[in-house]
Structure 1
Amino acid sequence: MASTDPEHNEEETAAVEDEDTGAQVAPIVKLEEVAVTTGEENEDAILDLKAKLYRFDKDGKQWKERGAGSVKLLKHKETGKVRLVMRQSKTLKICANHLVIPTTSVQEHSGNDKSCVWHAADFSDGELKDELFCIRFGSIENCKKFKETVQEVAESQQESKEEDEKEASSTAGLLEKLSVDDKKGEEFVKESSDAPKTEAVATADSEKKEETPVSGS
């Protein structure tokens, strides 16, 4: 006779469900591990802060939100170039992507010590655009750290640019010297070919001419 006790019936049902039948069910869909590339593999992050980014709309003459997420300064391992990259936290969509160059200057936003503004030739939309950005941090300390780090990078890029210009100038001078030396060598060869023959060479040529039989004799 079946038991009418609900708790007893539930225990029997649970025992049946927990019983190991030994059967193995293969998964319907096999998920494979996929390597995700971000384009940042050859760069080192020298700054990574949470913030909210705005872009100034020139047509509407107002600030428009670009997204909230992590703003990073990434230094390339080989070239030493530094770029600013910011992605939205949820979608990972890029909302800022530009190089930090010697002329990059970050200024405090008027009336808000947690925000700052700067101009940049941005490439986040797939083409270079002159943008005016405003970024807002959760604390005054983070805003200050952002400004100081960008300033340090801009100064280091200026020094690197000056060194590249000096190296280019030095290389140009070396190439010019080599070019002058080559011209001197060419002049020397020409002068050697136009120089009068020595007495020994002239005598040898004369004797060779006398030994040559005249045709028809």
Structure 2
Amino acid sequence: MCHNSLRYSSVPRIFSVRFSLFLLSLILRFSSRKAKLYRFDKDGNQWKERGAGTVKLLKHKESGKIRLVMRQSKTLKICANHLVLPGMSVQEHAGNEKSCVWHATDFADGELKDELFCIRFASIDNCKKFMETFQDIAESQKREEENKEATTAADALNKLSVKDKKADEKAAEDRPVAGKEETNTDAEKKTETPAPST
């Protein structure tokens, strides 16, 4: 026990409590099963192993954004750390039903890099569940983004219509005041003009 507590305490804490809300269904499916993560090295034109461990999808409590995080099982080093964005897609890798591939902008090494990832599971079922969950999350993020855009547009239109109403009310208030000023100036002109003398 002492050894485990030392190992966990030596790992720097990267995520705050805000990302502590897990997508429980995915954790339950994949927590006892390890997966291997690979990244494609463009320079060497080959796949390089990034690590083996459990993959987690974390949901931010406030913003609702979902992040894919994977740590190596022995060292707890982060293998993958990226947001699941709208429009992302995951595909089966070269006819292998146990592995799948996707593109992401990863932050596991401390800087943003565009990476091509491949993850291999122990069973076909786990891979299919991962792919379905990943696609569902990407689609839900897309719907949420569209809803936010529609809400923003509606708010902008509402503000414009409120400003127009206020401008109309001001113009309506200005019109009677302008009419009163004209009548006052007409009366003043009549009193100021001298009567013709005979």
Tell me which of the two structures has the higher relative contact order, counting C-alpha pairs closer than 8 angstroms and 6 or more residues apart.
Answer: 2
1:44 aligns with 2:30: no
Deviations 1:86-128 (A, max 9, x none): 1111121111111111211110011321110000111112222
Q: CA-atom RMSD, angstroms?
A: 2.8
Q: What's 2:113 paired with?
A: 129
Opposite residue 194 of structure 1, the aligned amino acid is A
Q: What's 2:88 paired with?
A: 104
Number of equivalences: 174
SS of the residue 1:191 aligns to? helix
Query: Whose helix fraction is larger, Structure 1's or Structure 2's?
Result: 2
The two structures have a TM-score, normalised by structure 1, of 0.71
1:94 aligns with 2:71: no
1:170 aligns with 2:163: no
Q: What's 1:66 paired with?
A: 50
**Which has the higher mean CA deviation after the structures are superposed, 181-190 or 105-114?**
181-190
Tell me which of 84, 93, 108 is aligned to 2:68: 84
Deviations 1:129-181 (A, max 9, x none): 11100001111111111001001111111111111111111101101101212
Q: Which runs of 5+ in 1 are unaligned?
A: 1-33, 207-217
Opposite residue 86 of structure 2, the aligned amino acid is P
* Matches of 2:182 and 2:96, distance apart in 1: 91
Deviations 1:7-47 (A, max 9, x none): xxxxxxxxxxxxxxxxxxxxxxxxxxx7x855153332222
Q: What's 2:165 paired with?
A: 181
* Matches of 1:196 and 1:178, distance apart in 2: 28
The two structures have a TM-score, normalised by structure 2, of 0.77
SS of the residue 1:152 aligns to? helix
* Matches of 1:113 and 1:100, distance apart in 2: 22
Question: In terms of Rg, which structure is larger?
Answer: 1
* Matches of 1:164 and 1:180, distance apart in 2: 24
Q: Which runs of 5+ in 2 are unaligned?
A: 1-8, 190-198
Deviations 1:166-207 (A, max 9, x none): 1111101101101212322332343344224487x78x989x
Opposite residue 163 of structure 1, the aligned amino acid is N
